[in-house]
Structure formats: structure tokens, C-alpha cells
Amino acid sequence: MNRALLTMVFIVAASAAQVGKSVVEKSTVAGNSRKKVSREVAYHDDGSTLKWKGYIDSESGKREGTWRFYNEEGVLVEKGKYDSGVKAGEWMSFSSDGDTLECVRYGADGDTLGCE
């Protein structure tokens, strides 16, 4: 994980917004990153089970860095990184048992490559 992400400090208070029935929490993050980002966390309709979490570029509104997506039982089903809103690097998808279903690597030009 990027060292800058590990050294980020959460500032201000988190605000909550209603999206359909899902709750999205947003908070501003500061650190040694090249971009100013906000942390975004969304919950399934029950309001307590994670749906996704990741970072949004505060200026462009695009997804940045590591994102994780969860099913309605709260099990991780996909994780990967975004660069300026585009999937980048290795993306993994998982079964509800935690087994790896697929690994896709995204190249700089957006092409999909096999994982090692």
C-alpha cells in the first residue's frame, strides 16, 4: 500500500448522505499524497453492512487508490485500484467463501492482462 495512504490523517467530521437506501459517509483526508482525496464508505440497505469503501479525488470527483466491494453479507467480493477513475493494476474478485474467482491486471493503456 502506498506509504502516503498509510500516513494520511483524517480531518474534519464525517458527513452522511442518503443514496437510495444506502448510506454514504464522506470524510476529508490529508496526507503526503499528490492529490487531495475524500474517503467514501457506503452501506447496504440494512445500514450496517459495508457495500464499498475507497477514495474520491476531491477536485475531479473520480475514484482513486484502493477500493473494496462487499456483498450483502459483508464478504469482500472485489478489490483493486483506480487511477483517475480508471481501473489500474491488479483487480481480484472473490466468492462468498473467500476463494479467488478471477484476477485481472489492467495495463497503462487500459488493456487487460493476465495476473501472475
Q: What is the pLDDT of residues 54-101, one digit of tens each?
A: 999 988 999 999 999 999 999 999 999 999 999 999 999 999 998 999
Domain boundaries, the chain: 3-114
Q: Given phi > 0 = left and psi -120 to 50 = alpha, else beta, which region is 49?
A: beta
Question: How high is the pLDDT of residue 25?
Answer: 63
Q: What share of the chain is helix, strand, coil (3-state, %, to 5)?
A: 5, 60, 35
Average pLDDT of the residues in 2-9: 30
CATH among 3.40.30, 3.30.420, 2.40.40, 3.90.930 for 3-114: 3.90.930
Supply 30's cell numbers: 490529508
More confident residue, 15 or 68: 68
Spatial separation of the C-alpha atoms in residues 62 and 33, rounded to whole Å: 15
pLDDT of residue 15: 30
pTM of the complete model beyond 0.75: no
pLDDT at 114: 77
